[in-house]
Structure 1
Amino acid sequence: MELDRKEMGRRISKRRKVLGIKQAVLAEKIGVNGNHLSSVETGKVTPSLELFVKICDELGVTPDYLLEGAMHSNNVPQSIVDHLRLCSEEDVDLAAEIVKLLADRNESNLG
């Protein structure tokens, strides 16, 4: 797998904007200057591993999301995870039941 720095930078920028975090604020939180973060977001610079982990932590995403666009190893989009975080425990349980029904339906279609 080859690292697509521009795409990774776009994901960082997009997620930061979704969370309503200004570039300068994120830069301060992760301990870099704004120009460096801008270079990461435009794909001109590859962040160090330490910086990459800090970015993931501050943006609440997995490394998979920034590297490949997959929020989790099972490819659950970040938007679904974000929406579930806003739900009550009862609603999350209901969503889990719906997902199980969908999985069962797809599994039976394969067999």
Structure 2
Amino acid sequence: MINYKEAGYRIQTQRKILGLTQEVVSEKIGITPSFFSQIESGTRKAGIKTFVSISKILGISLDYIFDIKTDKSLIKDFDSVEYQIINNLKLFPENHKKLVLDMIISIQRNL
């Protein structure tokens, strides 16, 4: 069973991490800010197309939004920060992904 309150919390958290307002996200997906606010608070359900649009804009998967457990061997027990890094990295073009990897390696060497 879907817990819309928890799904809304995950959406809100990612939106804030990205520094986006409810108005910006709602405009990009073609819904009112009021409706988007209700999705984030879990007081109103949305259709799958709306959730797909939200996931694309925020760079998170539907699995993450709805806390769908997948085969652990596929995600190798990532913690929530690692999962968010991977989902946000999907938004980068390939050449920027390489830069991010180089930065991570550099930081790791200096720790």
Alpha-carbon distance in structure 2 between the residues aligned to 1:80 and 1:90: 12
| Distance across 1 between alignment mates of 2:45 and 2:10 | 13
Looking at structure 1, the residues matched to 78 and 69 of structure 2 have their Cα atoms a distance apart, in angstroms, of 7
Report the counterpart of residue 11 of structure 1 in structure 2: 10
Which amino acid letter does the alignment assign opposite residue 54 of structure 2? Answer: I
Find the structure with the greater CA-based Rg: 1
Q: How far apart, CA to CA, are the structure 1 residues paired with 2:79 and 2:63?
A: 11
TM-score (norm 1): 0.69
Q: Does 1:88 align with 2:102?
A: yes
Alignment RMSD: 3.0
Structure scoring higher RCO (CA < 8 A, sep ≥ 6) equals: 2
Q: Residues 1-111 of structure 1: matches in 2 within 5 Å?
A: 2-68=1-67, 74=75, 75-81=77-83, 82=85, 85=89, 86-88=100-102, 91=105
How many matched pairs?
A: 92
- Relative to structure 1, the CA distance from residue 89 to residue 17 in structure 2 (aligned partners, 3 Å threshold; closer, same or farther) is closer
Report percent identity of matched pairs. Answer: 27
- Indicate the residue corresponding to 2:92 in structure 1: none
- SS where residue 49 of structure 2 aligns? helix
Deviation of 1:79 after TM superposition, in Å, equals 2.3
Distance 1:89 1:24, change over 3 A: same
TM-score, normalised via structure 2 length: 0.69
1:64 positional shift: 0.7
| Distance in 2, Cα, partners of 1:33 & 1:11 | 19
